[in-house]
Amino acid sequence: MILVTGATGTVGREVLRRLPARPPVRVMAREPGRVTGAAPTAEKVAGDYRDPGALARALAGVTTAFLVTTDVGGDDDARFLRAARTAGVRRVVKLSAAAVLDPGADDLITRWQRANEDLLRDSGMEWTLLRPRSFMSNTLSWAASVRSEGVVRALYGTSANACVDPRDLAEVAARVLTEDGHAGQAYTLTGPRAITPAEQTDQLGRLLGVPLRFEELTPEQARVALGARCPAPVVEALLHSAERQRAGAKAQVTDTVGEVTGRPAGSFQAWAKDHVEAFAHVP
Ligand SMILES: NC(=O)c1ccc[n+]([C@@H]2O[C@H](COP(=O)([O-])OP(=O)(O)OC[C@H]3O[C@@H](n4cnc5c(N)ncnc54)[C@H](OP(=O)(O)O)[C@@H]3O)[C@@H](O)[C@H]2O)c1
């Protein structure tokens, strides 16, 4: 039995779409009714990392688990791993982040992911770590201003990021969850080339058939904008991360998606083509 967490999120819901009917799949979500894309045979159960009883029920009979956590600085990984070990889970595949390998990355989010990785490696269970670069889907945060004003506002327009299509992450995760040979591996996952926010703006504009304007935010403007949706310590971590991008730390490309899935990683152009409606002005 494979357990999928984070199944209403960006990567988890794509993982669900890619898992075969066998071995059986169980989906854990705080609100199972919000889970879409699972095979009809998949079992949906309610579960929250903060609820030990529900976690134990969700993990009973599970051999392999896909773990997604998002509460930066919190101990959801520790709770999940304790419950998984008690339940006799054999292997955990964890969604981590490429930044854990960056020597200059000492922000709150990266320190939290490094600590989570250590917990998993020390858990006694088999482990596989997926370490993606930024998700291409992060550009959906530009959709509102693109739709209403034809403008993208972001930091450091000429800084490159080897961002990755979350569907490629999901394909890698589905393989790792269902194939042998991935235990003890850490995969750094990127797109096929590094691309800048200004280039992404240009590509989106071409797909939409309208020229878009790129307005570079100052760090202070970005702090205010990010502060509307994230707690202050996370905002500071994201600003630190953007600064590393400006310094070139996120431009390196790997071929790991190709090596694991047998086909090359998708481009930002391809991701944007499939999501262009989210950016389109509805008259
Ligand atoms: N975005 C990036 O560029 C990027 C880059 C590298 C690494 N990452 C890593 O990727 C991970 C995020 O993946 P994502 O974007 O797919 O996630 P996401 O879209 O933010 O979704 C988070 C998922 O976690 C579930 N969840 C949250 N709190 C929970 C709890 N207490 N108990 C049970 N489930 C809970 C949510 O379920 P509900 O439906 O219940 O809310 C949701 O399904 C993070 O670890 C992040 O560090 C992201």
Is pLDDT above 70 for 171?
Answer: yes
Is pLDDT above 90 for 208?
Answer: yes
43 pocket-lining for ligand 1 (C-beta < 6 Å): no
169 pocket-lining for ligand 1 (C-beta < 6 Å): no
Q: Confidence band (pLDDT; 50, 70, 90) for 85?
A: very high
Q: What is the pLDDT of residue 23?
A: 94
Express each pLDDT in 93-131 by its tens digit.
999 999 999 999 999 999 999 999 999 999 999 999 999
95 pocket-lining for ligand 1 (C-beta < 6 Å): yes
Q: What is the pLDDT of residue 283?
A: 67
Cα(72) to ligand 1 centroid in Å equals 10
Tell me the angle at which helices 52-59 and 76-87 cross, rounded to the nearest 10 degrees: 50
Q: How far apart are CA 64 and CA 44, in angstroms?
A: 16
23 prior amide bond cis, ω within 30: yes
Counting Cβ atoms within 10 Å, is residue 236 exposed (0-12), middle (13-18) or buried (19+)?
A: middle
* 257: three-class secondary structure by DSSP: helix
* 237: three-class secondary structure by DSSP: helix
167's CB contacts (< 8 A; 6+ apart) are: 14, 266, 271
- Tell which wins on pLDDT, 138 or 21: 138
Using CA positions, which residue lies closest to atom 26 of ligand 1? 6
47's CB contacts (< 8 A; 6+ apart) are: 5, 28, 29, 30, 54, 55, 57, 58
Q: What is the pLDDT of residue 281?
A: 81
Pocket test for ligand 1, best of 14, 18, 28, 68 (most atoms within 8 A of CB): 68
Q: What is the pLDDT of residue 282?
A: 73
Express each pLDDT in 265-274 by its tens digit.
999 999 999 9
Express each pLDDT in 3-54 by its tens digit.
999 999 999 999 999 999 899 999 999 999 999 989 999 999 999 999 999 9
Pocket test for ligand 1, best of 10, 70, 190 (most atoms within 8 A of CB): 70
Q: What is the pLDDT of residue 241?
A: 97
pTM over 0.95: yes
Continuous H helices in 70-107: 76-87
Q: What is the pLDDT of residue 72?
A: 97
80 pocket-lining for ligand 1 (C-beta < 6 Å): no
Q: Which run of H or E residues covers position 169?
A: helix 166-178
